[in-house]
Amino acid sequence: MNLKPTLLLFAILSAPAVLWADEEAKPQITTQDLGSGIHVLLGDGGNVALSSGADGNFLVDDKWARQSEAILAAVEQIGKGAVRFVINTHWHADHTGGNENLANAGAVIVAHDNVRKRMSSDQFIEALQWAVPPSPAAALPVVTFGEGLTLHLNGNEVQVIHVAHAHTDGDALVYFKQANILHMGDIYFHGSYPFIDLSSGGSIQGMIAAVEHGLVIADEHTTVIPGHGPVTDRAGLAAYHELLLSWRDAVKAHKDAGKSLQETISAKPTAATDETLGVGFIKPEKLVQFIYESL
């Protein structure tokens, strides 16, 4: 989830008409060709993977509802034809916001059991003080899984792998085996501090374990798609892993020494990266809080 404050306000007000009318809140999405018939759709909302080929089109995530038009235009340009499946990496609205529009256009939505559960009921994201009402029935995943499932499409074994209690309690990594492309969802924020949604069952321990799972899947030739930020590779993911460990250890040292959350925040345990990575959606004090409250 990567909400700008203005978008967050609109979301709180539940005013889709305002969102649709607000051209500033609807920046262009850009596409990047990753080869093997797979493109990533970057910008505004979570990164989307589009696979196109002999078996048609399918997506990993579908950004905000306001981007559905642009997503479908990209599909039309790149792959022609309809979207058969959308795999959601987790329930947040910047990754599932297009579900209703895509389902109405004929796509089958696939996600972890907990994605459907959370989208079916009132949610409150504590870190953002954001109340999220239940989604319309058409937006809900109709195929759900516990540990994972595999799709066999466009010459790829597409492995959808649940990772427990990481960014949320319903995260999935998506690995295109033959293409050697790994979509990490919001397990991986590339170039900014990560959001860990504790009120949705996330934890720093789970984030680290999920990244380690990704590192086991990936090899030196793997293309890695983060949930937010530019596309990278295994080395990029490994560098992020090191950062997560260093932040976890720094916060843990303060907590183990009996410091309160406020004292830990004041001590600036993540100071080394605050000015490079802590200036976006998640500020240093939030990251410290996520980690402190996970431990």
CB of 113 to Zn ion, least distance (A): 17
Q: Which residues pair with 74 in a beta bridge?
A: none
286 in contact with Zn ion (CB under 5 A): no
111 in contact with Zn ion (CB under 5 A): no
171 in contact with Zn ion (CB under 5 A): no
Yes or no: say if 198 and 206 are a contact pair by the CB < 8 Å rule: no
* Contact code string over 62-101 relative to Zn ion, x by CB under 5 A: ------------------------------x---------
Q: How many residues does the chain have?
A: 295
163 in contact with Zn ion (CB under 5 A): no
186 in contact with Zn ion (CB under 5 A): yes
Q: How far apart are CA 280 and CA 272, in angstroms?
A: 16
CB of 64 to Zn ion, least distance (A): 12
CB of 33 to Zn ion, least distance (A): 25
The dihedral built from the CA positions of residue 196, 113, 54 and 71, taken in this order, carries a sign that is: negative
Q: How far apart are CA 45 and CA 185, in angstroms?
A: 11
CB of 95 to Zn ion, least distance (A): 6
CB of 19 to Zn ion, least distance (A): 18
48 in contact with Zn ion (CB under 5 A): no
Choose the binding region for Zn ion from 58-66, 117-125, 186-194, 206-214 (rule: CB under 5 A): 186-194
224 in contact with Zn ion (CB under 5 A): no
CB of 92 or CB of 183, closer to Zn ion? 92
125 in contact with Zn ion (CB under 5 A): no
Positions touching Zn ion (CB under 5 A) are: 1, 92, 186
